[in-house]
Structure 1
Amino acid sequence: MLLCRVSAVSQTLTRWGRRSHRGGGLLHRALSFSSSRCHVVSPGEVSAKPAEAGSAPGLYRDTVLLPRSEFPMRLTGQKLLDRELQIQQECGFADLYSWQRERKAKKEFCLHDGPPYANGDPHVGHALNKILKDIRNRFEMLRGRQVHYIPGWDCHGLPIELKALGELGTSGLSPMQIRQKARQFAEGAIARQKAAFQRWGLMADWDQCYYTYDGAYEAAQLKVFQEMHGKVASVVRFDPVSVPCRTALAEAELEYNPEHVSRAIYATFPLSTLPPEMASEESGVSVLVWTTQPWTIPANQAVCYMPNAQYSVVKRADNSQLLLVATERTASVAALLATELESIGTFTGSQLEGGICKHPTIPDKEVPLLPANHVTMAKGTGLVHTAPAHGMEDYSVASQFKLPVECMVDEDGKFTDLAGPELQHLCVMTEGTDKVISMLAECGALLKEEQCVHSYPYDWRTKQPVVIRPSKQWFINTASLKDKAKEALQKVRVLPESARGSLLTMLDRRTYWCISRQRSWGVPIPVFYHRETGEALINKHTVSHLAELFKEKGSDCWWELPIETLLPDQVLKNSKAGPVTDYVRGEDVLDIWFDSGASWAAVLEESDSRADAYVEGKDQIGGWFQSSLLTSVAVRNKAPYKSLVVHGFAVSEKGEKMSKSLGNVVDPDVVINGGKDPSVPAYGADVLRWWVAESNVFSEVQIGPTALNSARDSIGKLRNTLKFLLGNLQGFDPRVQAVDPKEMHYIDQYMLHQLREYSIKVTDAYSEFDAGRAIRVLQAFITRDLSSFYFSIIKDRLYCDPEDSLGRRSCQTVLEEILDGVTRSIAPILPHLAEEVYLHAPGHDGGETLFKSGWIKSSSVWRRPGLEEAVEGACAIRDSFLSSIPGKNAAQYDLTIAIEPGLLFELMESLQEEATSTSSQLAELMTVARVNLASGLPRDLPPDAPLSHGTFLINLEGGVIREDSAYSIAAVPTSAARCPRCRRYTADSADCLCPRCQTIVSQAH
C-alpha cells in the first residue's frame, strides 16, 4: 500500500482549518435552509440580493438540485422533550437490551453496575456515572458484542433506616416494624431513580434489576460469608461508636476533624502505696496525669509510665504540693501551673514499679502504677491515665496485667449504673464530662483545665464526635488478604493509572474490616450464641440452611420464624451442637459494604467470571472497589474486574461541592425538563449526555448554565451538518444508486479514506472510555474535513450536475457514507438524535433502528495507493494559490500549475488528463474557473499576475519512493463570464449558460 509523508506537515494540515476564498466552508457561507428547500447565495456575492423570479438566475432556479429535508434544524422546549420521548417509544429503547441479549454474538462485554444508594432522589452524580456507563455499553452493543449490564441498588443501611424513621426514632418499634418502614422508603427512592435513568436513555432491562434486599441476593451474600468464614472472627474490639446512630463504625465511616476542641484536664492520683524506691521520700506525693477525655476517669484501672524514662518528685513553690511527673515534662508543667517546681528526687520509670494510687472520684478504689510502651513525652505529664474500656492500648495493658475491663457507657453514649448514681444516664460527651470535672474539683484532684485543639474521629454521616467503647464485633482480618489483593490488582487495568496508587494506599490503611452493625435494616449475621457461654455457633451447615431460607423467604425470616426453623435438628446434629433451647439468634447485621461487595457473586453469570469493567466515582476507591476486591480475593483468589474506571465528582460551575445551603445544586430533572422560571430552559436528555461525554471525567466535572449551553450549541451545530447531509440525499437510494469506489472522483475516494481514518480514531476513543476524545475527533472531522473542505468543493457538482450523473451520484454515495458513519459514531452519546437522523436517512426500510444495525461500516477498500498523495498534493498547491490572492474570489481566476515531469506531475495528471480544463477534478479542487497543467509557466503572463512557489514531498511504499517536487503557480483573472445557473465563471458571455448548463437545461426541456 502506498503511503504519503508530506514535507511540511503543519503547512499541509492548515488547509483544513482555512476558509476557502470562494466563500468558505458551506456551513460558513450565507445559507438559507428551510425544512424543504435551501437557497445558496453565490460565492463572492454573499451580500447581493437573492435573484428575483424574472431575472436570469431566477429562470434556472428549478433546474438546480437544492437540498430538501423534513429533518428540523432546531428542536426546543416542549417539542424537543416530546420528540425524545417519541424516539424512545418508536425506536424501542425499552426493548433494546433484551433484543441484544437474545442475538448471537461471539464476544460478551460485561460492565458490572455498582449499586447506587436507595436513599434519595436522582442527582447529577448519578447522571455522570450512569450515562458514562451507558455510552460504553451502547458502543459495545453497536460493535456486535453481547452486553451484560444489570442495574442494581444498595438498599440496606443506616442512612435509609434513619430517613425512613424520621422523627419517630426506634423507640417502641420492633425490628420488623423498622425493616418494613425502611423497605418502603428504599422502594420509593428506587422507583424515582429508575424512572430518571430510563428518561436519560439508559439501555437496560429495567424489569430485571438486582436489589441487595432481594432474598436471592441475600442468599448469595451468605454463601460468600460462608466461604470467608475462616477469615472472619468475632472478638472484642474497641470501635468508634456513633452516639446518634447507636452503632459501631468502620474506619471508612470516620472523618478526622483536626479542629476538634476537647476539655483537657490535669488531675492528681494520690499515691497510697509508694514504690519501694521512693520509701525514704516524703509522703503525700500525687501522680499527675493529663487527659483530653475527662469522662473516662471513672473507668480508670491504672496509671502507666514509660519504663526507660526519668521521673521526678517535684515540690510546688506556691503550695508545697508534691507531684510525680516525667522529668522531661517538668518545665512545661511548671509553666502551665504558673509556679516553680523544685525537684526532690529523680527515678527511672522502672523504679516506680509497685506503686499504688487512690482513684480520685471512687472511694476505696486503688489503681496500680504499671509500665507501658505506648506512653510518650510529646504532651501531658509522661504518666497516662488508663481506662481499658475506652482504648485498644489501654485494653492491651489490662490484658497483660489482668485488670478488669468495665464499660460504664451504653450504646447511646450515656453512663450506666456502673458509673454511680451521680453520673448514671448522663451523656458522656456533654453533661457527663461536666459532672466528672466538677467531681474532680470537689475532691481537690483537679489542678488545671484547658482547651485542647486536636484531631478527633467524627461520624461522617452525623458530623458528630464518636465515643470509643468496647463491643463484640465481627471483623475480617484484611492483613491476611492484602498481599493477594495487591497481586490481583497488578492484573487489573486502572483508568486513570494514577488511581492505582490510591487503591494500594487504601488497602494498606485497612488493618481490619468491621462487618457488623448494631441495627435492624440489613442482612443478619447468620450466627447463634449459646445462652450461658456466649460461644458462637456458625458453620457451613448453619449458613447453608439459612441461605436457602433467605432465598425463599428473604432475610425477614430471621426475625419472623421460630428459632427451631432457623436451627433445625438435622443442622444441630451436623454441627454437633446441643439442643436448640441452648441458643439465641444474633442481633447484628452485616455492613452494607459487605452487602454490595458481594454483588459479583449474586449478579455475574458464572461464579468464576470477571466483569470487563467496574465504573464508579473516586469515593469508591476505599469503598465498593475495595470491598469487592477483598471478598472476591478471599473466595476466588482473583479480582472481580478486569479494569477499573475511576471518575471524578460533579461540582458546580465554580468548582464547589454542591449543597443546598450554597444553592448551587443542579437537578438533572430540571436540566432535562426546564425549571419553573422561564429563564431555565429545557435542554433534553441528549444535552445531559453530551455534557457527560465532553467532560474530562477523570477529574472534577463542572456543570452549570455555561457547560449546558455549550453542549446545546454543539448539538445544534451537529444538527446543522446532519441536515445538510440529509438534504442532499433526498431521492438517493444507496442500495441501487451507489457508485463503486473505484469509479468515484478522486476527491470522493479521498473522503472515504478520511472517513475510515475518522472511524478508527473514534472507535479507539470509545474503547478507552474517552468519549471526550470521541467528541473532539467528531468536531475536527466536521469542521476541518467536511465544512471547510469537502462541502465547499462539491457544491457545484452536487447542485448543478445532472441528477443521475456519475459525478453527482459519486458525491451522494460519499455523503451517505459520511452521514451513516457520523450518525453511528454519535449514537453512544446522543441516542435520541442518532435514531431521529436514522428515521430520515436513505437506504433502509421503515421500522429499522440504528442500534440494531451495527457500528460504522468503513472498508479497507477505501484506502487506495496514491490516492492520498494525489489529493493532498493538490491541496498543498491550492493552499499556495489561495494565500497569493488574499481577500479575493478564487472562482474568478484561471490558474496555471507548472510542475516539471516527475511523480507530482503524474499525480496531478490523474486529476486532470488534459492540459487545460474547466471541469476537471483538479479544477474542482482548486475552486477556480480553469486550470492549466503544464511543465512551465507561460512567458506572456501579465506583470501583476500573482505568483507562488512551493515543494511537496512524496513518500511512497514506506520510503522506497521519495521525491521532493517543486511547483509554481500563476493566477490570472478569467476572461469568461459568470453562468447565471451554476454561477461559475465558465460562460462565453454574460447571461449565457456555460456549456454544461446548456446541455442540462436543454435536456430538461
Structure 2
Amino acid sequence: MLTWDCLYFQPSFTPSAPRSETRSYGATSAPRYRVREGPEPLSPRGQPGSRQQPAAQGGEEPRYRHSVLLPRSRFPAQLPGRLQPQTELETQQKCGFSELYSWQRQRKAKQEFCLHDGPPYANGDPHVGHALNKILKDITNRFHMMRGYKVHYVPGWDCHGLPIELKALSEAKGTANLSPMEIRQKAREFAERAIEKQKSAFIRWGIMADWANCYRTFDGKYEANQLKVFYKMYDKGFIYRDYKPVFWSPSTNTALAEAELEYNEQHVSRSVYMKFPLLKPPPKLASVLDGSSPASVLVWTTQPWTVPANEAICYMPDSAYSIVKCTTTGEYFILAADRVESSAAALDTQFEVISTCKGADLADGSCAHPTIPDKVSPLLPANHVTMTKGTGLVHTAPAHGMEDYNVASHHQLPMDCLVDEGGLFTEAAGPELQKKNVLEEGNEAVIQMLQTAGSLLKEEKYVHSYPYDWRTKKPMIIRASKQWFVNTASIKATAQEALKKVKVVPTSAVNRMLEMLDRRTFWCISRQRSWGVPIPVFYQKDTGECLINSESVTNIIKIVEQQGTDAWWTLPIEQLLSKEALTKAGGHDTSDYVKGQDVLDIWFDSGTSWAHVLEDAEQRADVYLEGKDQLGGWFQSSLLTSVATRKKAPYKTLVVHGFTLGEKGEKMSKSIGNVVDPDVVINGGEDHTKDPPYGADVLRWWVAESNVFTEVLIGPVVLNAARDDINKLRNTLRFILGNIDGFNPETDAVPATEMYVIDQYMLHLLQDYGSKVTEAYKQYDYSKVVRLLQAFCSRNLSNFYFSIIKDRLYCEAEEDPKRRSCQTVLAEALDIVVRSFAPILPHLAEEVFQYLPYKKDSEGVFRSGWIKASSGWKKPGTEEAIEGACAIRDSFLGSISGKNALEYEVVIVIEPGLLFELMEVLQAEESSSVSQLNEIMMASQTTLLSEFPKETPTDANIIKGTFLINLEGGDIREESAYEVIVLPTAKAKCPRCRRYTSQSSSTPCPRCMNVLAGKGSG
C-alpha cells in the first residue's frame, strides 16, 4: 500500500500528453517513459474518507498536515469476496433496475428503438452463451435508452419442439403409452421450469426488460398469430403438401430440417462395389457389347440399404466412360474413364480398357436390378453425378435422395418408400427385410442379398461426414413421405434482395446467409410429434384430400387465441371444423374428416415471432442480434416468413456474434472440466479460492471487451483479467470522487473560458472521447468502447492529468479558482466516463453515482441521459499549446533519467514564433514556480526565453528538440526548434507542498504562505 508521501511528491517523470489521432505535430527529440498506471489509493490510514497526512518520521505530527486537502471518499477501491455480488444486488434494489424498462416506456420520446429478442430455447439451465447474447442486447438497449430513445424490447422463449419433448419424457417414467395431451402437459411444465431459471439469471445479469410481460411461443395469442402467417403463406401458394424425400430421424420418428442436423465427421458406413447386369446394351455401344461376354455397369454406394428402392442408374452425359475387361474374370464393366484405375485398385484387380465413349452414348440402356428379380433399372442422364469418388455411375433410389427424387420426377419413375417412420423396412420390401432396421440388421441383410445374387464385388468400411439428429446424436436417413413444405425457391430471390438492404455486422456474415438462401430449394415445416403448433388441416378419410380454407383457419385461430393449441387435441372435430368451412370445401359431414397430426417446425414457430412482438403489422425491428448459427436458423426463417407475407425483411440491422469457447479455444465440455457456469462466475463456487465470486459486472465486462464477432474465449485467466481491469477503473473513479469532495458544480464550477489551459485541454479530450465512444456504440463495437475507456482513464487521466494537478488539488486553498478549475474538469470527467461505461457496467455506474458528494437526490445514471460533452470545449490552439509544452517536458524528463523533476529548474529557449506565443499563454512572466507551464513541466521553476542566455552554468544540461505545429487542417504549418537548459534547483523543499520552492526547509514557500495566511493559519 502506498503512503500519502506519494501524493505529495510529484513522480520523477510522467508520459507526455496524449496525442490526437488526427494531428501530425510532435516532438522529435524525446523518448517516451512508462510509469505506474492508475492513481494512488486514497486514505490508506485511518478511517475511510478521513483527510489525514502520514505521520512524520519519528512519530511527530507534521506541522502543516491539517492544511493539505487530501482526497476523501468512502467509495471502495475494491469489493473483495462476497461484497461484489452483494453490492450489485443492493444497487439493483436501490436504483430501481426492475422498474427501469417501464419508466423509459412511459416517458415522452421522439424516436423508438426496437431490438427484437430472438427466443432462447427453454430446455436447460442458463449458460455463458446466453450471457454473451443477452448482455450484448442489454448494452445495446441501455445505450439507446440513455440517448433518449424509447426502447422496445420484449424478451421471449422458444418453447415447442423435439428437444423439449425428449427432455420432458426422459424425466418421466412409463412414457411409451402416453397420450398426446399427456406428452404436451409434461413438455409445457418442463419448458416453464426452464424459463423461470433462465429469467432469474437474466435479471441477475442486469438485463433491462419488463420481465412480467415476455412472449412464449406456447402462448395462445402467439400461436394464433403464427397460424395467421401460416395461412397467408398457404393462400399465396408458398406452402404446399407433397411426397418427397426429407431428412428423417428414426430415433425420434420425425422429419427434420437442415438446421436441426449436425454432421459426424467420423461416421463409418458399410460401402459396397456392386454390379448391375446389362439387360439391354445402349444402342450406340451394341457393336462393342455384342453379348459374347457378360457385361454390367459398376456402381458404388455407401448406403446398401437403399438398393431395394433402386429405380435407375445415372450417368453424366458430358463425361467420358470406358468399357473395360476384368483380367481376373473376363467380365465387361462400364464405368467412368476417370475412375478406372482407382476402381481396379479398390477391387484388387486390373481393367483392360476396350473402348471409350461419351456418357450420352449410354442412353436407352437398361440393367437388371441386383436383388429384385424381373425389375429393370434404366440408364438415365443426370447432372448431379460427380467423378470425385465411386465409379461415375450412381445408384438412384428416388425415395432416399434429393437428386434421385428430381431424376424420378423428370422421368416419371416410381418413388415408393420401403422404410417406415421408425427406420424399419416395410412389408413391401419383402419377407427377408421386413421389420429390420435399415441402419443395422437391414443393411446387413441387403449386403447378404447382393452376395447371394452374385452382385457384390467388395464391401469395406468408409469413414465420412454423415448427418445426425442434433438432439439424439443418432444417424439420420433420407426418406420420402408426405410433408408440408415452404417453396423457398419462389421466395429466395425476393428474400436475397431484401437482405441486401439490411445492414449486417460484421459485413462478412451477409455473404454466408445469401449463400445459404441460394442453396435452399424447399423447407420442410411439418413434424410428426405432439409438442408444437398443429398444422390446421383436415384430411378426407377416404381420399386423403386436404381441407384448409379461410373459414376453417379463422375458426381455429379464434379457438387458439382463447384456449391455446391444446384445443386441437382436446376438442371434437365438430367444434374445430366449422360448417362454413365444410360447405366452402364441398364437404357434407365432419365425420368424413380427421384432424391432421403434424405440428409445425420450431423454426417456423420462432420465425414468425415478428408477427407477434412487433407492435405494427408493417413495423421492422431496428436490430436482430444473435449467434452465427442463426444465419441458417432464426435470421433466415424470420426473413422468409416476413418476405412471403409482407415483401420485406423484419429487421433493418443484423448483428452476428460468435460462440463461446474455453480460454484455450476448445469447446466447453464437462469431461474436460472447462465449462463456465455464469452463476458460479457471479456468486462463486463451493471453494472460493478456486472459483471466486466476481459479480455480474465482470461477466458483462468480459462480453464487452471480447471481439464478439469471432469465437469468444472465457476461463479463469480471462475472468481474473476482467476483474483487474474493473478494479483499475474503480481506482481512477475513487481518485476523482475523493478530490471533488466539498465541490458543488452548481455553485463552484469554473467557466471553461476562465480555466487553466491544461484544464481546457482536458475538456477538449473529454469531448473527443465522448464522440468516439458514442460512435463505437453506434457500430456495436463494444470492444472498442472498452479500449477507448481504458486508454482514456489510464493515459489521459491517471498517468497524465492526475499527476499534474495533484499540487493544485492538495495545496491550493479549498476555494481557490485554480483548484476549482481542475475540480470542475474532474466532475465533468467523472460524469462522462461513468456514462460512457454505464451500458456495460450498470451496477458500477449506479454505485459511483451513490457516492457523489453532490446530487444527493440524483435520479441515477440511466434516467439522466447520455454523455453531455459540449462542442464548445474544442478550442483552437489549446491542443497545440499543451502538446507543445508536453513535447518540451518529454525532452526535460528524458534528460534527468528518472530523477525527481522537482529538484531541477528548466530554462526553455524558443525563437519568436507560434510555439513561443503558445508557451507565453501558459507563462506570461519570464520565470515562475506557479505558472501553468511550470505545472506541466513539474519542475521547481520554469523560465521562458526567446534567445539563449549569455551565461550558462557549467553543470547545466542542454537538450535540443523540434515541434511541428499543424493548424487549421494544414493551412498553418510551422516547425519550431527549442532548447531546454536543465539546472539543479538552488531552493529548499517546502515543508507543506514538498516542492523545491522555499528559501528554507523549515519555512513554507511563498505560495503556501499565502494559502496559510488566507486561512488565518501560521
TM-score, with structure 2 as normaliser: 0.90
Distance in 2 (CA, whole Å) between partners of 1:770 and 1:974 is 50
- Equivalence map 1:454-853=2 (5 Å): 454-679=464-689, 680-846=691-857, 848-853=859-864
Q: Do residues 152 (structure 1) and 176 (structure 2) align?
A: no
**Is 1:206 aligned to 2:211, yes or no?**
yes
- Which of the numbers 245, 248, 262 marks the counterpart of 2:252? 245
Question: Residue 32 of structure 1 contacts residue 38 of structure 1 at CA under 8 Å; is this kept in 2?
Answer: no
Map 1:14-29 → 2, pairs under 5 A: 18=33, 27=39
Q: 2:376 aligns with which of 358, 361, 367?
A: 367
Query: How far has the Cα of 1:934 moved from its partner?
Result: 2.7
Change (3 A) 1:933 1:300: closer
- Please say if residues 288 and 323 of structure 1, whose CA atoms lie closer than 8 Å, have aligned partners that are also in contact: no
Contact 1:375 1:384 in 2 (8 A): no
Q: CA deviation at 1:808?
A: 1.4
Q: Give the superposition deviation at 1:153.
A: 0.9
**What aligned pairs does 1:954-965 form with structure 2 within 5 A after superposition?**
954-965=965-976
- Using a 3 Å threshold, how does the CA distance of structure 1 residues 140 and 890 change in structure 2: closer, same or farther? same
Q: Distance in 2 between matches of 1:880 and 1:342?
A: 86
The CA deviation at 1:394 is 4.2
Q: Distance in 2 between matches of 1:184 and 1:899?
A: 81
Q: Per-residue deviation at 1:480?
A: 1.6
Distance in structure 1 (CA, Å) of the matches to 2:302 and 2:855? 77
Give the distance between the partners of 1:888 and 1:291, measured in 2 at CA. 81
Name the amino acid aligned to 1:469. Answer: R
Instruction: Report the secondary structure of 1:494's partner residue.
Output: strand
SS in 2 for 1:77: coil
Matched, 1:69 2:79: no
1:54 aligns with 2:57: no
CA distance in 2, matches of 1:311, 1:63: 101
1:355 Cα deviation after fit: 7.7
Q: Is contact 2:550-2:581 (8 Å) kept?
A: no
CA apart distance, 1:817: 1.1
Note the 1:80-99 alignment, pairs <5 A. Answer: 80-99=84-103
1:12 to 1:103, Cα distance in 2 relative to 1, 3 A: farther
Going from structure 1 to structure 2, the CA distance change for 1:976 and 1:146 (only over 3 Å counts) comes to: same
* TM-fit CA distance, 1:200: 0.7
Say which of 263, 268, 291 aligns to 1:261: 268
Distance 1:70 1:120 in 2: 42
| 1:260/1:454 contact within 8 Å kept | yes
- Aligned equivalent of 2:7: none
Residue type of the partner of 1:976? Answer: K
Q: Is the 8 Å Cα contact of residues 326 and 333 (structure 2) preserved in structure 1?
A: no
| 1:458 positional shift | 2.9
SS at match of 2:197: helix
For residues 383 and 920 of structure 1, the distance between their equivalents in structure 2, rounded to whole angstroms, comes to 91
Letter of the 2:840 counterpart: I
The answer (yes or no) to whether the contact 2:41–2:77 under 8 Å persists in 1 is no
Q: How does 1:239-318 map to 2 (within 5 A)?
A: 239-267=246-274, 281=291, 290-301=300-311
Moved more, 802-811 or 861-870: 861-870
> SS state of the match for residue 644, structure 1?
strand
Higher mean C-alpha deviation, range 979-988 or range 929-938: 929-938
Q: How far has the Cα of 1:786 moved from its partner? A: 1.3
Name the counterpart of 2:1016.
Answer: 1004
Give distance in 2, aligned partners of 1:6 and 1:531: 77
Partner of residue 941, structure 1: 952
Measured against aligned partners, the alpha-carbon deviations of 1:302-340 in whole angstroms (never above 9, x if no partner) come to 5667789999998877777x6664585777776666667
The structural deviation recorded for 1:589 is 1.1
Shift of the 942–373 alpha-carbon distance from structure 1 to 2, 3 Å rule, reads closer
Corresponding residue of 1:173 = 178
Counterpart for residue 221 of structure 1? 226
Contact kept, 8 Å, 1:325 with 1:382, in 2: the verdict is no
Pair 1:122 & 2:120 matched:
no
Give, as a single letter, the amino acid of the residue that structure 2 aligns with 1:716.
N
Change (3 A) 1:401 1:710: closer
Contact 2:705 2:783 in 1 (8 A): yes
Shift of the 366–211 alpha-carbon distance from structure 1 to 2, 3 Å rule, reads same
Q: From 100, 111, 116, give the equivalent of 2:115.
A: 111
The change in CA–CA distance for 1:394 and 1:916 in structure 2 (over 3 A counts) is closer
**Contact 1:5/1:953 (<8 A) preserved:** no
Identity of aligned residues (%): 60
Distance in 1 (CA, whole Å) between partners of 2:717 and 2:344 is: 62
Question: In 2 relative to 1, CA 557–287 (structure 1 residues): closer, same or farther, beyond 3 Å?
Answer: same
One-letter code aligned to 1:91:
C
Aligned equivalents of 1:372, 1:684: Cα separation in 2: 65
* 8 Å Cα contact 2:41/2:731 also seen in 1: no
Find the counterpart in structure 1 of residue 6 from structure 2: none
2:15 equivalent in structure 1:
none
1:911-968 Cα shifts (integer Å, max 9, x gaps)? 2222222222222222222222332233232111122233333344445544433333
Q: Quickly say closer, same or farther: Cα 1:380–1:785, change in 2 above 3 A.
A: closer
CA separation of 1:259 and 1:795: change in aligned 2, threshold 3 A: closer
The alpha-carbon distance between structure 1 residues 945 and 545, as it changes in their structure 2 partners (threshold 3 A), is same
Choose 769-778 or 278-287, whichever is displaced more: 278-287
- State the shift of 1:848 in Å: 2.4
Q: Which has the larger displacement, 772-781 or 742-751?
A: 742-751
Q: Provide the C-alpha distance between the structure 2 equivalents of 1:5 and 1:445, rounded to a whole number of angstroms.
A: 76
User: Aligned pairs, how many?
Assistant: 988
In the alignment, what sits opposite 1:45?
A: none
Instruction: Report if aligned partners of 1:415, 1:428 keep a CA contact under 8 Å in 2.
Output: yes
Go from structure 1 to structure 2 and tell me whether the alpha carbon gap of 1:343 and 1:895 turns closer, same or farther (over 3 Å shift): closer
The 3 A distance-change label for structure 1 pair 178 and 323 is farther
**1:33 shift after superposition:** 6.5
- Rounded Cα–Cα distance in structure 1 between residues aligned with 2:165 and 2:674: 27
* CA shift digits 1:703-756 (9 cap, x unpaired): 111111111111111111111111111122112222222222222222112111
Asked if 1:429 is matched to 2:436, the reply is no
Out of 428, 431, 438, the position equivalent to 1:418 is 428
For 1:33 and 1:554, how far apart are their aligned partners in 2? Answer: 66
2:10 maps to which residue? none
Q: Residue 905 of structure 1: which of 898, 913, 916 is its match?
A: 916
Partner Cα distance (1:655, 1:184) in 2:
36
Q: Which runs of 5+ in 1 are unaligned?
A: 42-48
Report the Cα offset of residue 445 of structure 1.
4.6
Partner residue of 1:102?
Answer: 106
Secondary structure of 2:761 counterpart: helix
Tell me how far apart the structure 2 counterparts of residues 389 and 796 of structure 1 sit (CA, whole Å): 86
Deviation of residue 96 (structure 1)?
A: 0.5
Give the Cα–Cα distance (whole angstroms) in 2 for the partners of residues 997 and 335 of structure 1: 98
Q: Structure 1 stretch 572-581 or stretch 404-413: which is displaced more? A: 572-581
Paired with 2:483 and 2:406, the residues of 1 have a C-alpha distance of 17
AA partner of residue 77 (structure 1): G
Is contact 2:536-2:596 (8 Å) kept? Answer: yes
1:885 paired to 2:891: no
Q: CA deviation at 1:84?
A: 0.7
